[in-house]
Amino acid sequence: MIFQEMSHAIQDFIETGGQVLLVIGVLIFTMWLLILERIFYYLRGHRQTARKAIEVWQSRVERSSWEAEQIRDAWISRVTMALGGNLPLLQAMVALCPLLGLMGTVTGMIEVFDVMAVAGSGNVRSMAAGVSKATIPTMAGMVGALSGVFATTWLKRVTKRERLQLEQQLALDDNHQMVTA
C-alpha cells in the first residue's frame, strides 16, 4: 500500500518534470552508486592495497638508491590510482547534472511557447505544465550537482590524505628516520 503510493507519487513527479527529469534521476542514481563504491573501497579495499605496498617496500633490503625510489614512487602511484578510481567520471557526472537541468528548462519553455502559440497567452493553466517542466529538472540537476560536489570533494580529500600517509610510511627506512634524497 505505502509502496504503491510512493510509486504513484514518484511517477507523478516524473510526469510533471518531463522526460529530462527521468534522465537526471538515472544520472544521479548512477553517480551515487559510484560514490558509494568509492566509499566502500576506502573502507575495505584500500587498506589491503596500502598494506601490500608497505609490505613489499619493507621487504626490500636496499631502499636508498635511485631504483628503490622509483619503485617506491611506482607503488605510491598504483595505490593512488586505485584510490582515485572513478573520480574523473564522478566529476563529469556532477558537471552533467546542471547541464541536463538546463536542457529540461529549455524543453519546458518550448512547451510553454507551443501552448502560447496554440491557445494564446491567456491560457495560464496550460502554460503552468510547461513552466513546471522547465523548473523541476533545473532544481533536480542543481540538487544532484550539489550533492555530487560535496561527495567528490570529500573523496578527493580522503585520496590526498591517504596518499600523503602512504608516502610518509614508505619514506621511513629501517631505523625509522626519513630517507634523504
Residue 120 Rama label (left phi>0; alpha psi -120 to 50; beta): left
In the numeric block, the cell 518534470 is attached to 17
Q: Identify which of 158, 12, 20 has the alpha carbon closest to the alpha carbon of residue 83.
A: 158
Q: Cell numbers at residue 137, please?
A: 529538472
pLDDT in the model for residue 172: 61
Crossing angle of helices 2-17 and 124-170, in 10° steps, is 100
Does residue 180 surpass a pLDDT of 70?
A: no
3-state secondary structure of 178: strand
How far is Cα 131 from Cα 41, in angstroms, rounded to an integer?
A: 42
Q: What element of type H or E holds 116?
A: helix 87-119
pLDDT in tens, 58-92: 887 777 778 878 888 888 888 888 888 889 999 99
pLDDT in the model for residue 8: 83
How far is Cα 174 from Cα 181, in angstroms, rounded to an integer?
A: 16
Q: What is the pTM of this model?
A: 0.76
Classify the C-alpha dihedral 9-11-15-17 as positive or negative: positive
pLDDT in tens, 52-66: 888 877 887 777 778
Cβ neighbourhood burial of 32 (10 Å; 0-12, 13-18, 19+): middle
Q: Identify which of 60, 87, 91 has the alpha carbon closest to the alpha carbon of residue 74.
A: 60
Q: What separation, in Å, do the N-terminal and C-terminal C-alpha atoms of the chain show?
A: 68
Does residue 181 surpass a pLDDT of 60?
A: no
**CA 25 to the chain's CA centroid:** 14
In the numeric block, the cell 513552466 is attached to 131
Q: Around 100, how many Cα atoms within 13 Å sit in the side-chain half-sphere?
A: 25
**Cβ–Cβ under 8 Å, residues 87 and 11:** no
pLDDT in the model for residue 174: 42
